[in-house]
Amino acid sequence: MSSLTDLSVHELHELLIKREVSAVEVAKTYLKRIDEVDSKVRAYLTLTPDQALAQAEEADRCLSRDVEEATPLTGIPMGIKDVICTCGVRTTCGSRMLENFVPPYSATVIERLEAHGAVMLGKLNMDEFAMGSSTENSAFYPTHNPWDLERVPGGSSGGSAASVAARTCACSLGSDTGGSIRQPSSHCGVVGMKPTYGRVSRYGLVAFASSLDQIGPITRDVTDCALLLNVISGYDPRDSTSIPRDVPDYTLSLIPGLEGCTIGLPKEYFVSGLDPDVERAVKTAVSALEGQGARLVEVSLPHTEYAVATYYIIAPAEASSNLSRYDGVKYGLRAQGFKDLTDMYKKTRSQGFGPEVKRRIMIGTYSLSSGYYDAYYKKASQVRTLIVQDFRHAFKDCDVIAAPVAPTSAFRLGEKVDDPLQMYLSDIFTIPANLAGIPGISVPCGMDHNGLPIGLQLMATHFGEQSLLKAAYNLELAMGPWRNWPAV
């Protein structure tokens, strides 16, 4: 039998309900794996072994009482991005500002996972306040890509993707504001989905850009992604942006064959600057989908070239507002040795925030300031509407859009850290989906000449997760299950 840490969530579930293995045994195996390899990968910021074993014991009691009570996540060890509040467990957002913050409540997604018997192994590293594309902006340490420890895992959910690839958790949760689930999933060779904005509750997600942030699953395969999405989706009255809409059983979308499905290829995404290995892998994957019965058409998303500029006005503007709460008064870091209240604010924010967060707060504050609001924020909001209309028009001609996730595979640690613009451009293919609020998924589709993973991005119209999962599942059927994991 494969090592327990090599198995998918649904494979582990089968063993657990047959009582061939206990949830405690699975949890201990994962904790041992973390002990062996996480000193190299550095995916975790906080480990919760005692809580994990207590939850695993409860899962075993549930399984022994009545297997029918068990859910597909009962006894499954997970990691949680450290931007999601966990009651009684430190939640740092990868920042010195919240280094010792322990939330008094849990996010809705955590409550739902706990109700389904999931086991939390710990909290995962990330770019500070989810601002970054490489997890090098963490205030504590960078996470390393399990495929090549000299390279980035992507960001901002780098710890979430790296932990799944390194087999230090069976699945994880990340958050995606401009590609922060899909890009690291592509770089680490795992499946990652950003659901439709409003499909998953943001209550308890520490805000970066409230009109863009969305929580989503990172998993070994598409089946696991559907299982996790079933649990975390659904209306939450505590989140004013949550949409009251029934949640389908996403696993029912996992059926062979794409007859009647039209896949659009946006001409603006296949441009110069796209790495030849990425282009080859993406085109091979698209051909595989065609082989499953899909019809291919070219579509146009003409405002794609403005997406990065639009995002880097809207997101920092919202961040400037959201991060104003970190002032040293109510919670979080408070600087010492201040003269008065203004001095305390200044010193606390100077010491508590890292360079990238400060950069975005300044950009955002500038774009919202008197005299510049119309020129920047208002104009960006208008362009955002044009991007939404581009997708709406494209989806009249296709069911799913296929494109690269990122222009290249994982780059080297330190390679772009001093060039913010180059770092920002690594999100050029993922940002438009966030601006439009549509769902997107990254599915492994090949390797580059250095043996690094490459992902295919699929996007669908609002609440089109079923179409995405069906197409992604058929890609796995056509290309064979992704069972190629790094040795670390």
- Would residue 199 count as lying in a domain? yes
**Total domain count for the chain?**
1
Structure tokens at 232: 């975390």
Structure tokens at 25: 């045994």
* pLDDT value for 2: 61
- Would residue 143 count as lying in a domain? yes
User: Which residues are catalytic, by number?
Assistant: 81, 156, 180
- Would residue 301 count as lying in a domain? no
Can you give the length of the chain in residues?
Answer: 488
- Would residue 342 count as lying in a domain? no
Which CATH number fits the domain that encloses residue 473? 3.90.1300.10
Q: What does DSSP assign to residue 200?
A: B
- Would residue 329 count as lying in a domain? no
- Would residue 276 count as lying in a domain? no
- The three-state secondary structure class of 264 is strand
Containing domain of residue 30, as a range?
4-256+464-479
Contact 404, 282 (CB under 8 A): yes
User: Of all helices (H) and strands (E), which one includes residue 190?
Assistant: none
Residues near 314 by beta carbon (within 8 Å), at least 6 away in sequence: 209, 211, 212, 377, 380, 381, 384, 435
Contact 216, 194 (CB under 8 A): yes
Q: Per-residue pLDDT tens for 166-209?
A: 999 999 999 999 999 999 999 999 999 999 999 999 999 999 99
- Would residue 193 count as lying in a domain? yes
* pLDDT value for 276: 96
Q: What does 424-472 look like in DSSP terms, one character per residue?
A: HHTTTTTHHHHHHT--EEEEEEEE-TTS-EEEEEEEESTT-HHHHHHHH
Q: Which pLDDT tens digits describe the chain residue by residue (488 residues)?
A: 469 999 999 999 999 999 999 999 999 999 999 999 999 999 999 999 999 999 999 999 999 998 888 999 999 999 999 999 999 999 999 999 999 999 999 999 999 999 999 999 999 999 999 999 999 999 999 999 999 999 999 999 999 999 999 999 999 999 999 999 999 999 999 999 999 999 999 999 999 999 999 999 999 999 999 999 999 999 999 999 999 999 999 999 999 999 999 999 999 999 888 999 999 999 999 999 999 999 999 999 999 999 999 999 999 999 999 999 999 998 999 999 999 999 999 999 999 999 999 999 999 999 999 889 999 999 999 999 999 999 999 999 999 999 999 999 999 999 998 888 888 888 999 999 999 999 999 999 999 999 999 999 999 999 999 999 999 999 999 998 767 789 88
- Would residue 63 count as lying in a domain? yes
* pLDDT value for 1: 42
